[in-house]
Amino acid sequence: MKHVRLFLLVAAAVLAAGCCRSPRLTSPDGAIEVVFTINESGCPQYSVLKADKQVIAPSRLGFEDHTYKIVSTSRDSRDETWTQVWGEESTARNHYNELCVSLRDEEGGLLDIRLRAFDDGIAFRYEFPGEGEIRLYREQTEYRFAQIPQAWSLPWRTPYYEGLWTKAALDATADTLCSPITLEFPDGTYGFLHEANLTDWAAQNFYYADGALRTYLTPWANGTSVYVKRGETNSSWRMLILADDINALATSRLMLNLNEPCKLTDTSWIRPMKFIGIWWAIHLDHYTWCYRLLDSKGKVVGLSPNHGATTENMKRYIDFAAYHGFGGVLAEGWNEGWDGDWTSNLASFTTPTPDFDIEYLSDYARQRGVQIIGHHETGGNISNYEEQMDSAFAYYDRYGIHNVKTGYVHAKLEGKEWHKSQYGVRHFRHVIETAAAHHVCIDNHECVMPTGLQRTYPNLMTGEGVRGQEWDAWSTDGGSPAEHLCVLPFTRVMAGPVDFTPGTFDFSNPIHPQTRVHSTLARQLAAFVVIYSPLQMASDMPESYLKHPDAFRFVEQVPCDWQRTRIVDAKIGDYVVTARQDKNSDEWYIGAITDEQQRDITLPLDFLSPGKQYVAQIYADAPDADWQDNPYAISISSQEVDSNTTLTLHLAAAGGAAIRIF
């Protein structure tokens, strides 16, 4: 018995010693190391090294002002390759090592911190074992970067994230910033700081103070950050991609790998597609969303003479889509509730306006091989929407409508809660799950920033959360500068697919002559490759496309589901050259764009299959192209190429080039 007791005492001592040591975690390739410690004040900390160089100095973890002790640790690892329903690649490799540190605070509360190290970055999240409910007000997570990076960021209060990303030294940012932030380190490497699998949690934001980037959770109206049910609630994953070059940054799938596998047993109804819509003409004031006209007291005084979503208009768009190979047509303003101040009205999502025959149009679209893209604008009235949501999706399902664009145009949901609070996150998840039950895909506008949930629910196909091309129709600042499109692939697009709506072919704007798209025609073609979305909307009106049939051929041909993606060359904010291989063929598509500076691009085609001859169709800026004075000047040519070919492209200011290789 004495020997047994002695053994137990020794084992306990060894376990205690192991818990007091600094547990370490390394990436599968051994290059990245995460060190976990408890400092003298009882505060949990972590640090990160890459190739033996410190990336993050000891930085705080945890919540409130608790002190902690290590209870136990456990380890795991995984190496799997999974197939994407749709994506920028057909497959993704999920390879990591994991360390879970179980902690107890001074009040006996339990907290698990689960850390993962990948070859391309690190991640951790907070888990809350036990029973009962708690409120959290302050998260202590911080990032003390050993090298102060330049940061591309947006202020956190930017409405719907629809702003211009700006670059500044991280320690010079005075504002609170939304997630994500893209980092350029002094040694030429890159980082991407974001969150993954945001489920029943508040979206994170950042502010810089006392030498560290600190976390600020988007609160409820009552000041609570997060309501936690122990044993059920986990934080989102706090993630940091670490990349040696721009291609490794943009093609990392770390965020997707931190989400759960697909929960849908049947995904055959989920189909990537390009679509058009009665939309751009409304933004240009050619049409209206509303069916009726109201006076200042809300009394009906007549019908809108230019209502856009009519049976006649929709049929015309369906015919155009069918002839030119588009999969769908969006109709905004098809339902009752848009009259007057529609952001405060209680819309009906199952009642068409009298001039929109949904039964006839759904039958007609089906006969022509086109899908109607539905539209739900809630105006932020969540209670009204959730009361109708199940019946609204069932209504669409009955008419064979399997894609819906949702909208939440109001500063706060229900007039009081932030879109990216735990309240909003819960609602958006409810929409995705309810839509999936009715075989409906979602294009989410005025949404919370994406965090990779499309892996779990691939019916979440795209979203806004961006200053998209609609701003170029009416923005009082004249439209987005040319560099904006050169920033997005490494900021907003890194967080998930974007409904940016490229493809404007008519740059005139008589209603708002001071505003226009800062682009040449060739650049608009290139944007279909550079900006990723599996539901890709071509923004302009049919009559605009018919004016440029030769250039429009590229829009007809370019796919929106990919087998491989590669950033051939780029400098954030200056220029981007993106190459993607079609998921269903050996064809490659290339998009090259530049900012307000004209430049020459050298494009090696070494990603093509060796020994195979191809034809490259090149849509490039003509020598005299100019985005302000001659934006339509385009040169279309063909030449034979192979993997040894290097192309040289001249891009006009705010210009571009689009290439199909087959």
Can you read off the two tokens belonging to residue 645?
A: 């070919």
Element (H, E) at 526: helix 521-530
Q: Are 373 and 273 in contact (CB under 8 A)?
A: no
Please state whether beta strands 181-184 and 150-153 pair in parallel, antiparallel, or not at all (unpaired): antiparallel
Residue 101, strand partner residues: 73, 113
Can you read off the two tokens belonging to residue 184?
A: 């350029």
Residue 300 CA, distance from chain mean position = 40
Q: Report the alpha-carbon distance of residue 56 to residue 85 in Å, rounded.
A: 35
* Residue 322 neighbours by CB distance under 10 Å: 17
Q: Which amino acid is at 350?
A: T
**Chain length of the chain:** 662
Q: Are 409 and 380 in contact (CB under 8 A)?
A: yes
- Tell me whether residue 470 is one of the annotated catalytic residues: yes
Which has the closest alpha carbon to 182: 578, 531, 465, 492?
Answer: 492
Query: Counting Cβ atoms within 10 Å, is residue 167 exposed (0-12), middle (13-18) or buried (19+)?
Result: middle
Kindly list the strands in the beta sheet with 588-594, ordered across the sheet, starting from the edge strand earlier in the chain. 562-571, 575-582, 588-594, 656-661, 614-621, 634-641
Q: Report the alpha-carbon distance of residue 293 to residue 333 in Å, rounded.
A: 14
Assign 639 to helix, strand or coil.
strand
Please state whether beta strands 441-444 and 460-463 pair in parallel, antiparallel, or not at all (unpaired): parallel
SS3 of 499-522: the string is CCCCCCCCCCCCCCCCCCCCCCHH
436: alpha, beta or left? (left if phi > 0; alpha if psi -120 to 50) = alpha
Within 221-271, residue ranges assigned H as helices are: 246-250, 254-257
Can you read off the two tokens belonging to residue 475?
A: 């923005």
Q: For residue 274, what are the CA distances in angstroms to 176, 199, 434?
A: 36, 29, 24
Q: Are 273 and 371 in contact (CB under 8 A)?
A: yes
Assign 588 to helix, strand or coil.
strand
Residue 60 CA, distance from chain mean position = 28
Element (H, E) at 324: helix 311-324
DSSP for 584-653? TSS-EEEEEEE-SS-EEEEEE-TTSPTT--EEEEEEEE-TT-BTTTBTT-EEEEEEEE-TT-EEEEEE-T
* Residue 577 neighbours by CB distance under 10 Å: 25
Q: Report the alpha-carbon distance of residue 133 to residue 7 in Å, rounded.
A: 39
Catalytic residue among 142, 195, 470, 483: 470
**What are the residue numbers of the active site?**
470
